[in-house]
Amino acid sequence: KQEVTQIPAALSVPEGENLVLNCSFTDSAIYNLQWFRQDPGKGLTSLLLIQSSQREQTSGRLNASLDKSSGRSTLYIAASQPGDSATYLCAVAPGNEKLTFGTGTRLTIIP
Amino acid sequence: NAGVTQTPKFQVLKTGQSMTLQCAQDMNHNSMYWYRQDPGMGLRLIYYSASEGTTDKGEVPNGYNVSRLNKREFSLRLESAAPSQTSVYFCASSKDRQGAVYSPLHFGNGTRLTVT
């Protein structure tokens, strides 16, 4: 059974710093990996989707990488801002509808 | 830009009561999903509808039923609510199936359900 782990559960960094969030998964037979952000009391917002054949995806200050062989993905946030404060979740897709989600990293950017 | 709309936002039920959670999307998406989110457990798939006219069980379907009313609407019904169904419920949609080339999920803002 696929397991997705996100460590640490919470992270605080000063504004302006670059940071990396981690996502690890136990079964490398995935179709894609998605990163989401969730603001308190809200739903999830899709940030980036990496196909299994890709190594990375970029959107603005965000860059996500995927290493299937090691079962790892990272989300890099450049020049962090207070508005980046949220919970970040990753999810792996096995090729069917049953995605497996991590429990997220709660990020706080300190002004 | 409505996206995915869920109603109600909050609901309190007594054990044994029934209710239906409504979900509608205006993005012309083919696939729709119901998830529940519980502390420390991540999101878990309850039911999904890969295309209009089809529904399938997810990871935790017991105690729930769904109806894909049309392409836009996908409802979740609790026939006899139990305290274990206290959770936050999210509806999501995607252009195509999750196995498609590029089909990110779009989520509603959730329904916070408490069963006493």
- Give me the pLDDT at residue A88, please: 98
- Give me the pLDDT at residue A98, please: 80
Interface contacts (A, B; CB < 8 Å): 69
- Choose the closest CB to B98 out of A44, A93, A104: A93
Q: Which of B41, B98, B103, B106 to mutate to test the interface with A (most CBs of A within 10 A)?
A: B98
| Full DSSP string of B14-71 | -TT--EEEEEEE-S--SEEEEEEEETTTEEEEEEEESSTT--EE-S--TTEEEEE-SS
* Residues of chain B found within 8 Å of residue A99, distances taken between Cβ atoms: 43, 45, 98, 105
3-state class (DSSP) for residue A83: helix
Q: For residue A87, is it left (φ>0), alpha (ψ between -120 and 50) or beta?
A: beta
B59 Cβ under 8 Å from any chain A Cβ: yes
- Give me the pLDDT at residue B98, please: 75
Task: Of B25, B47, B26, give the one whose Cα is nearest residue B36.
Answer: B47
pLDDT tier, B1 (very low <50, low <70, confident <90, very high otherwise): low
CB–CB of A43 and B105 under 8 A? no
3-state class (DSSP) for residue A82: helix
Q: Give me the residue label for tokens 């199936």.
A: B97
Chain A residue at shortest CA distance from B48:
A97
Residues of chain A predicted below pLDDT 50: none
In whole angstroms, give the CA distance from residue A27 to residue B69.
35
Helix (H) or strand (E) holding A36: strand A32-38
Chain A nearest-CA distance from B94, in A, is 11
pLDDT tier, B99 (very low <50, low <70, confident <90, very high otherwise): low
